[in-house]
């Protein structure tokens, strides 16, 4: 495995940035795309990840393999769900369900998603589903800034705020608020009352942005999720109330049996049917991304990391002890 050094930064109180060196398993691919492979040990120990999703199935579908990988490599992670999924489905009931059933089913599923991915705390912000184009973005930014400071979030995984042709306002409103909150959380004049209450400034330095339509983001990071595929499948099985995964495999198996048919892929029991249905149909996108880069399964992102500063590099190279 080819490795390269990777610069990360931490902000000193003076505002001058000092670089520290970490060695991570990252491999430049074609152009400016970097392939992020599994790292041995816990290179991310001490860092905090926030997986942020408007709905209970967004992270499971598009980024669960990467979330589980980063947790496995040492991150402490938390799950923030922005809506209450009240316009979702109640698929496990076999009907469309009521608004109240959607809320309850997806709340339960979201907790199960966190458990499947090893995320510690869950925050449900409880905005109405499909209605986020009407919420106060200032309010949501303020709530996210509070959480980033409280949890000391270093890295976020969320929808790409600049992806095009995204039809769901919950996705793009959440993404834009996350992006704004990431840097404002490090600014002392933004919500100083939070600092007076005991929180500390804490800007978010790393972002993994995903999109439903991969042709609309500036892809520069491919994450190999081979080692966390089982957790990704488990997080998708957890979404039984909505989405394209959950128990669809076992339902298809039952429907086929009623017509005297079977798919060998789905095996002989419901658990196998749910798992293999997701592997074949839901993870088809991950398989196709992987094939483009010589991997089995992969997730695709626009990644923004800590930016290097000329001032930082200059001080590091040229600073000498003060003569007294």
For residues 58 and 300, which CB has a smaller minimum distance to Zn ion in the complex?
Answer: 58
Give min distance, CB of 313 to Zn ion, in A: 40
For residues 55 and 207, which CB has a smaller minimum distance to Zn ion in the complex?
Answer: 55
For residues 191 and 210, which CB has a smaller minimum distance to Zn ion in the complex?
Answer: 210
Residue in the block written with tokens 């939070």: 194
Dihedral, 141, 145, 151, 154 alpha carbons, nearest 10: 90
Residue number of the CB atom closest to Zn ion: 55
Task: In whole angstroms, give the CA distance from residue 255 to residue 274.
Answer: 14
Give min distance, CB of 276 to Zn ion, in A: 24
Give min distance, CB of 55 to Zn ion, in A: 4
Task: Tell how strand 206-210 and strand 298-304 pair up.
Answer: antiparallel
> Which residues are at the interface with Zn ion (CB under 5 A)?
54-55, 58
The b-or-e profile of 109-136 (16+ CB within 10 A means b, else e) is bbbbbbebbbbeeebbbebbbbebeebe
CA distances from 68 to 50, 108, 234, 287 (A): 12, 20, 11, 17
For residues 58 and 154, which CB has a smaller minimum distance to Zn ion in the complex?
Answer: 58
Give min distance, CB of 152 to Zn ion, in A: 27
For residues 83 and 141, which CB has a smaller minimum distance to Zn ion in the complex?
Answer: 83
For residues 82 and 266, which CB has a smaller minimum distance to Zn ion in the complex?
Answer: 82
Give min distance, CB of 83 to Zn ion, in A: 8
Give min distance, CB of 212 to Zn ion, in A: 8
Task: In whole angstroms, give the CA distance from residue 258 to residue 267.
Answer: 16
Q: Is 74 left (phi over 0), alpha (psi -120 to 50) or beta?
A: left
Helix intervals (H) in the chain: 58-62, 64-72, 99-117, 137-151, 169-184, 192-196, 229-237, 248-258, 270-277, 284-292, 310-318
For residues 81 and 221, which CB has a smaller minimum distance to Zn ion in the complex?
Answer: 81
Give min distance, CB of 312 to Zn ion, in A: 38
Query: 3-state DSSP helix/strand/coil percent for the chain, to nearest 5?
Result: 40, 20, 40
Q: What is the CA radius of gyration of the chain?
A: 21
């Amino acid at each position: 495995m080819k490795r390269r050094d990777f610069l990360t930064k931490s902000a000193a109180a003076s505002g001058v940035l000092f670089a520290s060196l970490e060695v991570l398993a990252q491999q430049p691919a074609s152009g400016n795309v970097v392939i992020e492979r599994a790292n041995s040990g816990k290179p991310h120990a001490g860092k905090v990840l926030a997986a942020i999703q408007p709905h209970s199935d967004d992270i499971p579908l598009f980024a669960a393999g990467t979330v589980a990988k980063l947790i496995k490599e040492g991150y402490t992670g938390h799950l923030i769900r922005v809506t209450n999924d009240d316009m979702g489905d109640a698929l496990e009931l076999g009907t469309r369900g009521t608004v109240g059933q959607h809320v309850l089913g997806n709340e339960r599923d979201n907790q199960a998603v966190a458990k499947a991915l090893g995320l510690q705390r869950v925050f449900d912000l409880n905005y109405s589903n499909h209605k986020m184009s009407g919420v106060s973005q200032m309010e949501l930014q303020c709530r996210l800034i509070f959480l980033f400071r409280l949890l000391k979030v270093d890295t976020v995984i969320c929808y790409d705020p600049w992806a095009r042709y995204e039809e769901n306002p919950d996705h793009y409103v959440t993404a834009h608020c996350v992006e704004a909150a990431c840097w404002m959380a490090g600014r002392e004049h933004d919500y100083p009352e939070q600092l007076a209450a005991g929180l500390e400034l804490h800007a978010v330095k790393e972002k993994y942005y995903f999109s439903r339509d991969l042709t609309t983001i500036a892809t520069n990071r491919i994450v190999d999720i081979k080692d966390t595929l089982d957790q990704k499948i488990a997080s998708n099985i957890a979404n039984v109330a909505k989405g394209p995964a959950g128990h669809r495999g076992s339902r298809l198996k039952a429907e086929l049996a009623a017509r005297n048919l079977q798919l060998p892929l789905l095996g002989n029991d419901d658990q196998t049917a749910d798992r293999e249905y997701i592997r074949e149909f839901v993870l088809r996108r991950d398989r196709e991304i992987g094939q483009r880069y010589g991997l089995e399964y992969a997730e695709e992102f626009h990644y923004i990391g800590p930016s290097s500063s000329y001032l930082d590099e200059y001080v590091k190279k040229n600073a000498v002890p003060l003569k007294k």
